[in-house]
Amino acid sequence: MGETDKDLMDSDTKYIVSGDSISKGVIYDEARSKYVILEDNYVSLLQNKLKGAIRNTARFGNTLMKGIVNLRKDVLKDKPNIVLIEYGGNDCDFNWNEIAVKPDSEHFPKTDFSMFEKMLTETIEFLKNQQITPILMNLPPLNADKYFKWVSGNNPDAEMNIMKWLGSVTKIYWWQERYNSIILKVSEMTKTKMIDVRGAFLEHPDFTKFLCIDGIHPNKDGHRIICEKVVEFVKSNYGHLLLGSAKMEHI
């Protein structure tokens, strides 16, 4: 048993979830035409499945850089045993409004590809040095067609200009997949456990039904899938942290 695993035996285990709007539980409410917080988001569901207390520090719009600045403070203050790291969706994103206006200009993602890898690696090293167990979470797949419609606001001119810059809609999926592959790479390089959320969605032939109309945020059923995957992961790796039998079918 590793040094950090010794601390994971007690029912007073402390967890921090550090991430973006997915972990915050943000979904798009079509009836009200706005983003809202889903009460039964995956983190809330997990609180009823795990021993100990979960502190959810995820924020809407968080990139890795924004989130990690706060995580370093939170870790020193709260001294958690486990930190779940969920980033990438905003990091790989572009300013689509600027692209729609200037399709011939050069545009960059919110977090550079190599910077994302560097910061993720450094964050894991920081946590391990604090005797904290980091756990990575990879990215749910997106629906490229819906996301393209969403970022162009269904505006034909914007669609035309974004497509001129993009080349093809499938490039959106490919680009997000690159950032997802970085999470896998960092997991392997640093020997850090990872929860394969992407795989859980892709087990379903029509995974898009678990996403909101924006094509990127998991909906209520999507959050259930994430929760089930996390519970499955905990059962395999830290079974003692599950409350009772924590049967997944009762989620």
CATH of the domain at 54: 3.40.50.1110
Quick count: other Cβ atoms within 10 Å of Cβ 27? 23
Inside any domain, residue 250: no
Inside any domain, residue 225: yes
Pair 95, 107: CB distance under 8 Å: yes
Quick count: other Cβ atoms within 10 Å of Cβ 206? 6
**pLDDT tens, per residue, the chain with 251 residues:** 344 444 445 568 999 999 999 999 999 999 999 999 999 999 999 999 999 999 999 999 999 999 999 999 999 999 999 999 999 999 999 999 999 999 999 999 999 999 999 999 999 999 999 999 999 999 999 999 999 999 999 899 999 999 999 999 999 999 999 999 999 999 999 999 999 999 999 999 999 999 999 999 999 999 999 999 999 999 999 999 999 744 444 44
Q: What is the pTM of this model?
A: 0.91
- Which residue, chain included where needed, has tokens 């924590």? 246
- Alpha carbons 169 and 147: distance in angstroms, whole number: 9
Inside any domain, residue 103: yes
Residues composing the chain: 251
Inside any domain, residue 105: yes
**How wide is the angle at C-alpha 116 spanned by C-alphas 111 and 119, nearest 5°?**
120
Domain count, the chain: 1
Inside any domain, residue 246: no
Pair 42, 21: CB distance under 8 Å: no
Pair 12, 197: CB distance under 8 Å: no
Inside any domain, residue 241: no
At 125, list the tokens: 């090293």
Inside any domain, residue 48: yes
- Amino acid letter, 105: S
Question: Domain range for residue 174?
Answer: 4-235
Inside any domain, residue 175: yes
